[in-house]
């Protein structure tokens, strides 16, 4: 009865219910704007809610978190500009669908599968949190290094027609991610005496430039071509279509939950791994991957939304953040006098079940708000290119500047936009660059931590990697 009464706290309290709804609605539109990340929104909220009671503060943050992860898919599908890193894989098939007049269908299926993936992650949080936290805490630096290596191997799935070009793009991304001060030795790397490079190159600036600015430049070639009329029918997918893709969604939701539960990973890595899994297990898709495959939407969107529930597992059971947003939420809990960790579920079980229930409610509101307003959203891609291209450029500039309030990031964004333009002209894929940037620091840091933990015994570290690979392979196959 105690569990049930705690689960009902945000349901029977109208104020909390409204805060979750408002947060989810705001999160969807914050996530849809490139550069305005969920992490930024939640961090800003702390300064506004530190004087609130803990339940209202968490309700609003949870709503923004859940809505923001889903919201990144909107601009990824409509403009080929991922609103969030976790929507990078969504753009690979979502934008081609929009180009063929199927934007409404794409957003509809993404909304429904995001709802399914979100609930699987929340169910795992409520039912298997201690078990999954034990699995996550058992990961050593060498295991995270292995995870990064597995991620880098996804270049093969993201390379398109040329593996050589994909490998080159992935290596370029790793090099870009390595720019800046070394986190262990505080030595400059690849800065060439330029002080602005010591803090590294903003990942958001790279992402927006490669996808947003390059897309605007590419579309200049056909600026007077009439826009594709979008089909507004079929927004809510049929049950037969959902049932057809449900097995894949369950598999990729499991991947998303497990990857999300690993400290320091998050929905972006989960989405890319899920996309690779979909390409490997899907036989004879109706549309090829990269050309508008429904499976290319189902996999990343179920995974990145399931990763939300997964990220709360180490936060609530171990006091270790699963991603950047849960790291901020740990700070919010400390501000309110709570200590997330092993004793939270024993001393304050009401807080654990309140968070589970709030996530579930936010997931429901995400479905409701996600299926409304689609008709208005899809009109964006029907705008004349003479109007749409300046809009893309303005969004790109605002998004790049908003991260650090820095014009330097805007310059980087424009530079990578030009680079992305020429790479697309010559058939080089852009996704491997983003993959390399994401995984570069994870690989670098954990490589050296693994060596240090084994007292620089390379043989012992390789033996540890081998045993880790066997354990990870079992989990991955499941």
The pLDDT tens digits of the residues spanning 395-443 come to 788 878 876 778 888 899 899 999 989 998 888 888 788 778 877 877 7
Structure confidence at residue 226 as a pLDDT band (50, 70, 90):
low
Specify the pLDDT at position 306. 92
For range 27-45, the mean pLDDT: 75
Instruction: Report CA torsion sign: 147, 150, 152, 155.
Output: negative
In a domain, 470, yes or no: no
In a domain, 420, yes or no: no
pLDDT digits (tens, 9 = 90+) for 284-298: 888 888 888 899 999
Specify the pLDDT at position 233. 64
In a domain, 247, yes or no: yes
For range 336-359, the mean pLDDT: 78
Name which residue leads in pLDDT, 367 or 313: 367
For range 272-277, the mean pLDDT: 88
326 burial type by CB count under 10 A (0-12 exposed, 13-18 middle, 19+ buried): buried
- Closest listed residue to residue 66, CA positions, set 7, 121, 130: 121
Structure confidence at residue 463 as a pLDDT band (50, 70, 90):
low
In a domain, 440, yes or no: no
132 burial type by CB count under 10 A (0-12 exposed, 13-18 middle, 19+ buried): buried
- Expressed as residue numbers, the domain containing 282 is 2-141+205-407
Length of the chain measured in residues: 478
The rounded Cα 173 to chain-centroid distance in angstroms is: 18
Kindly report the average pLDDT of the chain as a whole number: 80
32/115 Cα distance (integer angstroms): 17
| Entry pTM | 0.77
In a domain, 425, yes or no: no
Angle ∠(81,83,84) on CA atoms, nearest 5: 120
Angle ∠(192,431,148) on CA atoms, nearest 5: 75
In a domain, 310, yes or no: yes
Specify the pLDDT at position 478. 42
Structure confidence at residue 114 as a pLDDT band (50, 70, 90):
very high
Task: Tell me: pLDDT of 301 over 90.
Answer: yes
Structure confidence at residue 228 as a pLDDT band (50, 70, 90):
low
Q: Domain total for the chain?
A: 1
Residue 13 gets the label, from left (phi > 0), alpha (psi -120 to 50) or beta, of beta
Task: Tell me: pLDDT of 391 over 70.
Answer: yes
In a domain, 298, yes or no: yes
28/43 Cα distance (integer angstroms): 16
In a domain, 23, yes or no: yes
pLDDT digits (tens, 9 = 90+) for 127-165: 877 676 666 666 677 777 777 777 777 776 666 667 888
Instruction: Report CA torsion sign: 189, 175, 80, 150.
Output: negative
């Amino acid at each position: 009865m105690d569990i049930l009464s705690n689960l009902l706290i945000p349901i029977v309290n109208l104020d909390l219910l409204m805060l979750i709804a408002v947060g989810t609605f705001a999160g969807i539109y914050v996530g849809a704007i490139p550069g305005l990340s969920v992490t930024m929104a939640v961090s800003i909220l702390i300064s506004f809610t530190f004087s609130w009671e803990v339940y209202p503060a968490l309700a609003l943050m949870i709503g923004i978190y859940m809505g923001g992860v889903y919201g990144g898919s909107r601009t990824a599908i409509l403009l080929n500009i991922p609103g969030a890193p976790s929507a990078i894989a969504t753009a690979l098939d979502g934008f081609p669908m929009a180009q063929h007049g199927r934007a409404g269908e794409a957003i509809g299926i993404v909304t429904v599968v995001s709802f399914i993936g979100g609930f699987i992650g929340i169910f795992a949080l409520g039912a298997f949190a201690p078990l999954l936290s034990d699995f996550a805490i058992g990961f050593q630096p060498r295991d995270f290094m292995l995870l990064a290596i597995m991620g880098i191997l996804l270049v093969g799935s993201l390379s398109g027609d040329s593996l050589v070009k994909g490998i080159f793009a992935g290596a370029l991304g790793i090099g870009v991610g390595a720019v800046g001060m070394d986190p262990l030795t505080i030595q400059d790397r690849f800065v060439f005496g330029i002080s602005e490079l010591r803090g590294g190159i903003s990942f958001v600036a790279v992402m927006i430039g490669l996808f947003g600015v390059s897309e605007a430049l590419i579309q200049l070639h056909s600026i007077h071509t009439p826009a594709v009329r979008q089909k507004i029918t079929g927004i809510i997918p049929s049950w037969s279509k959902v049932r057809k893709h449900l097995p894949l969604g369950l598999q990729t939701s499991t991947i998303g939950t497990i990857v999300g539960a690993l400290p320091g990973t998050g929905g972006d890595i989960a989405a890319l791994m899920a996309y690779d899994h979909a390409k490997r297990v899907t036989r004879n898709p109706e549309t090829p991957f990269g050309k508008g495959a429904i499976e290319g939407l189902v996999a990343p969107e179920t995974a990145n939304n399931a990763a939300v529930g997964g990220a709360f597992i180490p936060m609530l059971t171990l006091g270790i953040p699963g991603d950047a947003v849960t790291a901020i939420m740990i700070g919010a809990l400390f501000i309110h006098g709570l200590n997330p960790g092993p004793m939270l579920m024993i001393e304050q079980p009401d807080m654990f079940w309140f968070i589970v229930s709030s996530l579930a409610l936010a997931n429901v509101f995400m479905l409701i708000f996600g299926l409304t307003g689609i008709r208005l959203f899809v009109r964006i891609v029907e705008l004349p290119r003479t109007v749409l291209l300046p809009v893309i450029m303005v969004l790109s500039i605002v998004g790049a500047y908003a991260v650090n309030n820095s014009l330097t990031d805007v310059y980087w964004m424009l530079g990578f936009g030009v680079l992305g333009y020429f790479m697309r002209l010559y058939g080089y894929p852009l996704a491997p660059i983003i993959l390399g940037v994401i995984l570069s620091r994870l690989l670098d840091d954990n490589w050296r931590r693994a060596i240090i933990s084994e007292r620089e015994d390379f043989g012992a570290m390789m033996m540890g990697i081998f045993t880790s690979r066997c354990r990870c392979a079992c989990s991955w196959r499941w």
